[in-house]
Amino acid sequence: MTTRTVNEVTLILQEGDITRIQAEAIVNAANAALAGGGGVDGAIHRAAGPGIIAECREIGHCPPGHAVATSAGNLPARYIFHAVGPIYDERPEDQDLLRSAYQSCLDLAEQYQVQSIVFPALSTGAYGYPLTLAAPVALQTVIAHLQKPTSLRQVTFALFGNRAYTVFEQTLKKLLPL
């Protein structure tokens, strides 16, 4: 686990299962149809229970770069923020869409006055965004947000596997050296 403090907010990197981390909001790496799927999305939907898919069906759709909120079902949270990152295709707009997906979740955190949020590494699984390119976007977006007044007191990145953790840790150490 790696921890830094930004403007009195604790920023944590940890390897582990996002569905087991207690936070007010859990970010789901959703698809645009909000239909559940594999990876983080499937794990969150399975852990949250069937009520979440019903809420997602009611919302219907979420375009890349945006996020929507539902209840958290059986998860140890109040909300799930379903963020749709880009499918990586080396396009110039991929970085902007990824940044926007993270920022949309941070905006929802402020809207709902959330004090703690946990993120996965959006778009780095089935959507193919390289970890070495995604980590700086994710961390820079969060750090910039935390430098302004915020309801957040803790931001956690739950990273799947040692490689994801290591890439995020190395990136964070460059952005916020001790």
> How does pLDDT run across 73-127, given as a tens digit for each residue?
999 999 999 999 999 999 989 999 999 999 999 999 999 999 999 999 999 999 9
Give the contacts of 109 (CB within 8 A, at least 6 positions apart): 25, 81, 117, 150, 151, 152
Cβ pair 149, 117 in contact under 8 A = no
CATH of the domain at 152: 3.40.220.10
| pLDDT confidence tier of residue 39, bands split at 50, 70 and 90 | confident
| pLDDT confidence tier of residue 37, bands split at 50, 70 and 90 | confident
Predicted pLDDT at 15: 95
Q: What is the C-alpha to C-alpha distance for residues 126 and 136, in angstroms, rounded to an integer?
A: 19
Tokens of 134: 């995604």
pLDDT digits (tens, 9 = 90+) for 133-170: 999 999 999 999 999 999 999 999 999 999 999 999 99
Count of domains forming the chain: 1
Q: Which helix (H) or strand (E) holds 53?
A: helix 50-59
The pTM is what?
0.96
Q: What is the C-alpha to C-alpha distance for residues 2 and 14, in angstroms, rounded to an integer?
A: 7
Burial (0-12, 13-18, 19+ Cβ within 10 Å), 152: buried
| pLDDT confidence tier of residue 177, bands split at 50, 70 and 90 | confident
Kind of pairing, strands 67-71 and 154-159? Answer: unpaired
Quote the domain boundaries for residue 16: 2-175
Predicted pLDDT at 116: 98
Tokens of 33: 């149809």
Predicted pLDDT at 154: 98
Active site residue 96: no
Tokens of 114: 């959330």
Considering the candidates 17, 41, 94, 107, report the single residue annotated as catalytic. 41
Predicted pLDDT at 139: 98
